[in-house]
Amino acid sequence: MAVTPRPAQDGGAARTPFIAGNWKMNLDHLQAIAFVQKLAWSLRDAGHDFAAVEVAVFPPFTDLRSVQTLVAADKLELAYGAQDLSAHDSGAYTGEISGAFLAALDARYVIIGHSERRQYHGETDEVVAAKTAAAIKHGIVPVVCVGETAEDLEQHGPSAVPVAQLRGALAHLSSPADLVIAYEPVWAIGSGQAATPEQAQQVCAALRAELGSLLGADVAAATRILYGGSVKSGNIAGFLRQPDVDGALVGGASLDVAEFSSIARYQKHVGV
């Protein structure tokens, strides 16, 4: 079965598929330079069309300056972003990183509300909402993560918790904004047990419907919604066949150049 481009709805813009690699706390700045170089070569050698499928890496903060320098010097078409930011602009917040600093490093994206931040750093929907607003204020596109635990799934069904988290994350937004949403079921992250494409589609469709009621039909049609949780080269195509899944947020498999570039070239797996 062929992968079709994300259809434009009601004459709106088509959504460019997005493959994002969340490195988490892996690879120092020297390793990042070697990795990004290899990834760029691998994709270029394979004739990757970066305009057709956008590829981004999300290294640790300490790598970002090195990645920026490399991307700018070699004119790489890879995008990059941070894994978190502060809700504050500047001041007495020891250890925090301002969106202004990320913008100064030309970071295009920032992951917000990853389940590991919610779980290990106590990030509530209020914190996620404040960080989402901060990213937008500094001109950085937030990649807002939502997803239910196995218990949530049992108690509330598939969409209730992710949809409520999305409502929470967008609480400070009243006008259209450039956003990416990542649906990452907590039970699928790092477990080797991905959701099925149909499960991902069901929740991504519910998230898009919620976006529509919160921010309007144009934002709903233009916003990319990613699936994340045990994505690999062997299962990516199934997710991207779904009409409301516009890409993937990849953890473990993003740390292997061959595997990650194969995920980015998912269209080749199905002969499109």
Residues 153-192 touching ligand PGA, rule: CB under 6 A, are 184, 189-190
Q: For ligand PGA, which is the closer residue by CB, 3 or 250?
A: 250
Q: Which of these ranges, 48-56, 79-87, 95-103, 226-234, lies near ligand PGA under the rule CB under 6 A?
A: 226-234
What SS3 class is residue 1? coil
In the 8-state DSSP scheme, what is residue 243? T
Residue 147 binds to ligand PGA (criterion: CB under 6 A): no
| Nearest-angstrom CA–CA distance, 158 and 97 | 34
Q: Which of these ranges, 42-50, 160-168, 213-221, 225-233, lies near ligand PGA under the rule CB under 6 A?
A: 225-233
Residue 76 binds to ligand PGA (criterion: CB under 6 A): no
Max CA pair span of the chain: 55
| Residue 183: strand pairing partners | 146, 227
Residue 250 binds to ligand PGA (criterion: CB under 6 A): yes
Residue 238 binds to ligand PGA (criterion: CB under 6 A): no
How many residues bind ligand PGA (CB under 6 A)? The answer is 13
- Catalytic status, residue 148: no
Strands (E) located in the chain: 18-22, 54-58, 79-82, 109-112, 141-146, 180-183, 224-228, 247-250
- Within 8 A by CB and 6+ apart from 121, the residues are none
Give the nearest distance from C-beta 236 to ligand PGA in angstroms. Answer: 11
Q: Which of these ranges, 85-93, 95-103, 163-171, 223-231, lies near ligand PGA under the rule CB under 6 A?
A: 223-231
Taking CB under 6 A as the criterion, the residue among 18, 22, 125, 203 binding ligand PGA is 22
User: Helices then strands (H, E): number in the chain?
Assistant: 12, 8
Q: Considering the candidates 114, 123, 138, 210, report the single residue annotated as catalytic.
A: 114
Taking CB under 6 A as the criterion, the residue among 133, 251, 262, 264 binding ligand PGA is 251
Give the nearest distance from C-beta 230 to ligand PGA in angstroms. Answer: 4
Burial 130-161 (b: 16+ CB within 10 A, else e): bbbbbbbebebbbbbbbbbeeebbeeeebbeb
| Nearest-angstrom CA–CA distance, 114 and 249 | 11
Taking CB under 6 A as the criterion, the residue among 144, 203, 231, 236 binding ligand PGA is 231
DSSP H or E segment with residue 104: helix 99-104
- Catalytic status, residue 123: no
Give the nearest distance from C-beta 63 to ligand PGA in angstroms. Answer: 17
Give the nearest distance from C-beta 184 to ligand PGA in angstroms. Answer: 6
Residue 252 binds to ligand PGA (criterion: CB under 6 A): yes
Q: Which of 225, 222, 119 is nearest to 182 (CA)?
A: 225
- Within 8 A by CB and 6+ apart from 67, the residues are 32, 33, 36, 57, 59, 80
| Nearest-angstrom CA–CA distance, 100 and 71 | 20
Q: Which of these ranges, 63-71, 156-164, 165-173, 224-232, lies near ligand PGA under the rule CB under 6 A?
A: 224-232
What SS3 class is residue 18? strand
List contacts with ligand PGA (CB under 6 A): 22, 184, 189-190, 228-231, 249-253
Q: Point out the residues that are catalytic.
A: 114, 184
